[in-house]
Amino acid sequence: MLIAEVAFPVPVHNTYHYLVPEGFAPLEPGTRVRASFGPRLAVGTVLAVFEGSPQRQLKPLHAVLDPGPVLSAELLECARWMSRRYGAAVGECVKAVLPSFVRSVPAKEGRAGALRPPPTYALTDGQRQALEGLLESIRSRRHGVAVLFGVPASGKTEVYLRLIEEAVKDGGQALFMLPEISLTGPFFEEFSGRLREPVALWHSRRTMSQRRETWSGLARGEVRIVVGARSAVLLPFRSLRLAVLDEEQDESFKQESPSPGYHAREVALHRARAHGSLVVLGSATPSLETWRAAQEGRATLFVMPERVCCKEMPAVSVVPTPQGHDCVSAHLLAKLKDRLGRGEQSILLVNRRGFSTLVLCRKCGWVDRCPACGVARIRHQEPDGAFLMRCHRCGRRTPVAAACGVCKEPTLWITGTGTQKVVSELKRAIPGVRVLRMDRDILKESAADRRIIEDFKAGRADVLVGTKLVAKSFHFPEVTLVGVVDADTMIHMPDFRASERTMQLLSQVAGRSGRGEKPGEVVVQTMHPGLAAMSSSQLGRYELFAAAELAVRKELSYPPFAELIRVELAGRAEKIVEGASQEMADRLGGILDAAGHQVLGPAPSIPPVYRGRHRRHILVKVLDPAGTESALDAIRAVRVPAGVKAGVVVDPYDLA
């Protein structure tokens, strides 16, 4: 008799077997079915069909929902691999690659605009050498991994465009990925105007019908070029020949939750092996994992060390953070006024949104925290000018406290700098200055990112103030000054990647300056000018930083020299969570220490209470990457008491 193995989109690691009624044959893997699942009928996906003699009575399938497979064998295998790699239930992984909106529809998505001729400038030596090697790799139709290491404004986009043109010849498909949705629009416009094939756009803000058309068109092979954010790596390509991750070092390529917590770079590499395609990882500051792969020969390194059209890299100066209430130093303010007088533009990076980032009591040390989440609330200025306290975790808004929540004294100190405060200070210090703000609060509005980018590029503003979003791959030729208002906000985070992230962010935002005909300048405000990640002597000299940081990582057994697994236990009863986390750590230590791995903790998560649940976490250092699956098996084998939920993230980017 025929038996179908079925996975359901639930956080359960089991799959389930059902009899295939005679009228349902032939039934192929990748087809959706309806079957009894507990007390109800549920929709699942067939993973395999085989002949067998079951040891117990099996229920028959209730219905077949598709005339044929909606998932290819390659995507099914990818889902199984994601389950093993990230310790997620296979049904959750199938759900990630098979969105609920998928059904058979005509493919209409994609646009080719009025074709523009390529730029007239001559390719640099770096561009030319990179193109020759990468084009040869695409034409060979063999799997390969390349690192395109180019300084900001070195012309990586031109290289990408020419690679895509080659990849889509004879029915091939190409994927171009960016870390932020706000970046996809400008690249979509650029690619649509340069490429002869229609270009599709993919991210979570697209309508359901738009995503459905793109998904179905790709599955048919009718859509050949996709520009998208992280989830585009899970699309149903039939003949993928090129996958590009621009700004590959960006943490947004890693999904922490919901499950599966995949990294787009790893999934792209896995799928490229199945398709025999080329993966290009582009960055001015590659992740240390990628850099080490290039140094060890697991990826081919192409270097583009100079800017196009002989533009010089911007001059960098590091100045002290101002004391007192001002957040913009006199030095930086003078530079801003100078640019305004010359009709040039500036960008200010502020790595926190809101107005003030901390409200505390000078007398007893009380901090205004969200009662549900336990995190410090941020003081925001509302559109009507009033101030409210806002929790960035749950979004709850409350009035600003007039007195301490503990000692009841009016001895409150409001401190810290957010984007709103910088905008307010600029408008007060420079009358008539035109300022745009770009942060996640602003981008909640529909199409706000495109409007801000277009207005700034068109010269309708003098200064763009924003969070790390302004440091991404935008090209603003009239920007000649970049200021970093507070470079210290990331360096002291409780994370082994803090120095790497700080260096990458500063290098990225510095690269926005001087991309046109006029020279650029960068001013970094910091209280720690000697730190390597913020030193003017280190910015723009990635190789020096990477060598030093990799030596530290190796000594401490952190990635890329080990694999990390974070286990978080959460529940409403604090004592039960503490006991369960200690018991799990003890049991894992007895198993994994013997295998040469390390178990750290348990320790309170940050914040220790979130939405009414107490949280503690354990960190497992897997010193041999081949042991990750067995470590995940050991973690799953430890049962937690009722009322406690355990979550697992492989290669976590959030260690709080």
**Average pLDDT, consecutive stretches of 10 residues, N- to C-terminus, the chain (656 residues):** 94 94 89 94 96 90 93 96 96 92 56 61 91 96 96 94 95 96 92 93 93 93 96 97 97 91 97 97 97 97 89 88 87 96 96 92 92 87 92 88 93 93 95 94 78 93 94 90 89 86 91 91 88 64 92 95 96 96 95 91 89 93 91 94 94 85
Distance CA 285, CA 504 (A): 6
The pair of structure tokens assigned to 443 is 């981008």
Q: Which residues pair with 567 in a beta bridge?
A: 618, 648
Cβ(510)–Cβ(522) below 8 Å: yes
Place of tokens 């077997």: 17
Q: What is the pLDDT of residue 58?
A: 93
β pairing state of 144-150 and 278-283: parallel
Cβ(302)–Cβ(144) below 8 Å: no
Q: What is the pLDDT of residue 106?
A: 46
Report the phi/psi class of residue 408: left, alpha or beta, with left for phi > 0 and alpha for psi in -120 to 50: left
The pair of structure tokens assigned to 96 is 């990630």
DSSP H or E stretch at residue 537:
none
DSSP H or E stretch at residue 382:
none
Q: What is the pLDDT of residue 206?
A: 92
3-state secondary structure at position 287: coil
Place of tokens 């000697």: 530
DSSP structure string for 121-134: SPPPHHHHHHHHHH
**Sign of the alpha-carbon dihedral angle for 633, 637, 638, 639:** positive
Domains of the chain plus CATH, in order, are 2-97 (3.40.1440.60), 125-309 (3.40.50.300), 311-357+416-551 (3.40.50.300), 563-650 (3.30.70.600)
**What's at 423, amino acid-wise?**
V
Neighbours of 55 (CB within 10 A): 6
Closest CA to 487 of 282, 320, 603, 343: 320
Q: Which residues pair with 466 in a beta bridge?
A: 349, 438
Q: Which residues pair with 254 in a beta bridge?
A: 263
Q: What is the pLDDT of residue 392?
A: 87
The pair of structure tokens assigned to 303 is 């270097």
DSSP structure string for 180-204: -HHHHHHHHHHHHHH-SS-EEEEST
DSSP 8-class letter at 640: -
pTM for the whole thing?
0.92
**What's at 45, amino acid-wise?**
T
- Chain centroid to Cα 515, Å, comes to 25
Task: Please report, for residues 35, 144, 199, 243, the alpha-carbon distance to residue 165 in angstroms, rounded to integers and kept in the order given.
Answer: 45, 18, 12, 13
DSSP H or E stretch at residue 498:
helix 498-510
Cβ(304)–Cβ(126) below 8 Å: yes
DSSP structure string for 399-444: EPPSS-TTT--S-EEEE---HHHHHHHHHHHSTT--EEEESTTGGG
